[in-house]
Chains A and B, each alone.
Chain A
Amino acid sequence: MTTKVLGIETSCDETAAAVVEDGRRVRSSVVASQVDLHARFGGVVPELASRAHVEHIDTVISEALLEAGALDVGAVDIVAACHGPGLAGALLVGVSAAKALAVTTGLPYVGVNHLEAHLYAAWLEEPDLEPPLAVLIVSGGHTLLVAMEDHGRYRVLGQTVDDAAGEAFDKVARFLGLGYPGGPVIDRLAAEGDATAVEFPRPMRDEGLDFSFSGLKTAVVNHVRRNPDEDLRDVAASFQEAVVDVLVRKLVTAADLARAPVLVLGGGVAANSRLRDRVAQAAAATGRRAFLPPLELCTDNGAMIAATAWWRWERDGATRLDAGVAPTLALPSI
């Protein structure tokens, strides 16, 4: 007997739903991205995101069920939604949809922590993965360094004190006039540039495991103002190298502390090609394995919510229907 979970994710700018079996096998995964909607504002506009979620949620859910070969929601065993952290108005849509399904069918509802879901995305690609792991979650919303000691046992070792890593990419890209989202554009441009051209600061590189990116962003702005003729490809490559340097160094330190033989990446910035290369190199150099999930599992998706709900259900059972959303929810740390 397998347990099928329908997972719904609406915490930011993706309306997503997926069906996953036993926390590991993805039967379907549908993501309606709102990137184009927010592009002209240079960042996610919460009210627009919430409106788009309401518009697309029912279609995304039915597509996910259809793709999984489920005639209707009665073919799944658990309905789950991300209940935080995230944008309050956006989270409400996914949670309301999941509860509506639960009330209609009598199925249990499980509310899922978005950060925990980024950790469990790894099991969708690698079903036999065993903790301990050192995980770096980097996106427009989060920069989090986690030692996953066991299922349900996490230690948050570091996080950003100002901007998230993805936010730094967005802000620098906007300043350089490269458009939105910043990550992919900078990644592409940097591939043609010289990463050693400009020696940007590596903020807090040797101080603890927290991150800071706002000073780096300011350094880029100041450098470009003083050197208007600098090749943007070199600026992009040098900036990216500074971010990646800090991220990789701290991930390895975290793995040392956690005695973790595996390095894992998650979050949208995990799509960055330089970051992936450097994590793979660092793993090889320290006798570890690097686990770099494919892009569609790194960015926000319903499958990671469904996978996490399965693990949570095994431990804690259903979430009450009178539970709300938790926009500032933290990863449960031991």
Chain B
Amino acid sequence: MLILCLDTATPRVSVAFGQDGAVLGEVELGIGQRHAEQLAPAIEFLCHHLDVQLAHLAGIAVGVGPGLFTGLRVGITTAKVMAQTLRVPVVPVPSLDLVAYPLRHSHRLIAVVFDAKRHEVFHARYRPVPGGVQRVSEYGVAPPEKVVAELLASADEVLLAGDGVTRYGEFAALDRAEVAGPEFAAPSAAALVELATARMEREEFSAPSQIAPLYLRKSDAELAKRAR
């Protein structure tokens, strides 16, 4: 079963092809915020060098955020339109999960935080369980100090991951926390290959038109209107 996986929720562009749950090849581009320029060429590059044909895809998996709105829109539009054209289903996976999953061998509580700009982070907490991770919080958006306070209030040993950790000095207050290496700062499409293949097998997928970004935040105009 050949699947295409992609995530564009952070400044990175991450693309991988998976065959029966194994990663055939992946492209990681980290120079930031050039999703619209990089994504299509990255897919083309992988097709060419892995000698795979998109016509043979069984499905497409996409990270749906929360994360950078513009990045998400590029990734999700690409996944939707490709899937519709190829008549294959889409597996939507929250991008925070894609950082937590590769850390499943830890014994700590995993807290994933992405920089959400404007002194806020997108965040979720996970517990390692046999074969994966289990999310133990809602997906949220909050100022870093609020997330730090919640983590301090719990007795758990914490493993921090995601680009929000280095972006906001507030996380240094968690002196007993361990920080995952830079390779865990952004969602990886390789993790998506494993996660999505299992879901595809269980037919936990959606029609392309049903895929939408996890925004978590209303637009500024809506917020202003509501405040009035």
Q: Is B166 part of the contact surface with A, judged by Cβ < 8 Å?
A: no
Chain B residues within 8 Å of A321, by CB: 40-41, 44
**CB pair B77 A97 closer than 8 Å:** yes
Q: Which of A55, A61, A95 contacts B36 (CB 8 A)?
A: A95
User: Does chain A have a CB within 8 A of B80?
Assistant: yes
Measured CB to CB, the nearest residue on chain B to A38 is: B221
- B78 touches which one: A47, A88, A100 (CB < 8 A)? A100
Residues of B within 8 A of A54 (CB): 73, 76-77, 80, 212-213
* Inter-chain contact total with CB atoms closer than 8 Å: 106
Q: Whole-angstrom distance between the alpha carbons of A53 and B73 in the complex? A: 9
Considering the complex, give the chain B residue whose CB is closest to the CB of A50: B73
Quick one: which of B38, B43, B74 contacts A103, CB cutoff 8 A?
Answer: B43
Q: Is the CB of B37 within 8 A of A45?
A: no
Whether A96 contacts B219 by the Cβ 8 Å rule is no
Q: Please judge, given known A-B contacts A321-B40, A324-B37, whether A93 and B77 are in contact too, CB under 8 Å.
A: yes
**Which chain A positions have C-beta within 8 A of B219?**
45, 47-48, 51
At the interface, is chain B mostly helix, strand, loop or mixed?
Answer: helix
What 1/0 flags go to B8-39 for Cβ under 8 Å of A? Answer: 00000000000000000000000000111111
Q: Does B49 contact A (CB under 8 A)?
A: no
Q: Are B44 and A103 within 8 A (Cβ)? A: yes
| A316 at the B interface (CB under 8 A) | no
Interface residues of A: mostly helix, strand, loop or mixed?
A: helix
Of the stretches B82-90, B102-110, B130-138, the one at the interface is: B82-90
- Contact in complex: B69, A50 (CB < 8 Å): yes
Report Cα–Cα, A55/B76, bound state, in Å: 10
Interface bracket on A? 35 or more
A89 within 8 A of B: yes
How far is the CB of A97 from the nearest CB of chain B, in Å?
Answer: 5
Tell whether, in the assembled complex, residue A100 and residue B69 are in contact, meaning their CB atoms are under 8 Å apart: no
Of A45, A48, A58, which one neighbours B209 at CB under 8 angstroms? A58
Interface residues of A in 48-102 (CB under 8 A from B): 48, 50-51, 53-55, 57-59, 61-62, 72-73, 88-89, 92-93, 95-97, 99-102
Q: How far is the CB of A100 from chain B (nearest CB, A)?
A: 4
The 0/1 profile, CB within 8 Å of A marked 1, for residues 100-121 of chain B is 0000000000000000000000
Q: A55–B81 Cα gap in the complex (Å)?
A: 11
Question: Which residues on B sit within 8 Å (CB–CB) of A45?
Answer: 219, 221-222
B40 touching A57, Cβ below 8 Å: no
Tell whether B139 is near chain A: CB-to-CB under 8 Å: no
Report the minimum CB–CB distance from B204 to chain A (whole Å).
20
Interface size band for B: 35 or more
Flag whether B151 is at the interface (Cβ < 8 A).
no
Q: Which residue of A lies closest to B70 (CB)?
A: A89
Q: Are A96 and B77 in contact (CB under 8 A)?
A: yes
B51-86: CB near A (< 8 Å → 1, else 0) gives 000100000000000000110011011111110111
A322 to B34, CA, bound (A): 9
Q: Decide if A104 is an interface residue (CB 8 Å cutoff).
A: yes
Contact check, B82 vs A100: say whether CB atoms are below 8 A apart.
Answer: yes
Residues of chain A lying within 8 A (CB to CB) of residue B85 = 72-73, 100-101, 104-105
Contacts of B220 in A (CB 8 A): 47
Please determine whether B225 and A62 come into contact, CB atoms closer than 8 angstroms.
no
Q: Does B215 count as interface, using CB distance less than 8 angstroms?
A: yes
Quote the shortest CB–CB distance from A87 to chain B (angstroms).
11
Shortest Cβ distance from B81 into A: residue: A100
Which residues of chain A from 83 to 130 have any CB-CB distance to chain B below 8 Å in the complex?
A: 88-89, 92-93, 95-97, 99-105
Find out whether the CB atom of A93 lies under 8 angstroms from the CB atom of B73.
yes
Contacting pair B37 A58 (CB below 8 A)? no
Q: Which 7 A-B residue pairs are closest in the complex by CB-CB distance?
A: A47-B219, A99-B40, A100-B81, A45-B221, A96-B77, A100-B78, A324-B37
The interface of chain A, by Cβ under 8 A from chain B, is 40-41, 45, 47-48, 50-51, 53-55, 57-59, 61-62, 72-73, 88-89, 92-93, 95-97, 99-105, 321-325
In the complex, 9 of the A-B residue pairs with CB atoms within 8 angstroms, ordered by the A residue number, are: A47-B220, A53-B73, A58-B208, A62-B84, A95-B36, A96-B40, A103-B40, A104-B54, A324-B36
- Beyond contacts A51-B213, A104-B81, A322-B38: 13 other A-B pairs, Cβ-Cβ < 8 A, are A51-B219, A54-B80, A58-B81, A58-B209, A62-B84, A73-B85, A93-B73, A96-B36, A101-B85, A103-B40, A103-B82, A321-B44, A325-B36
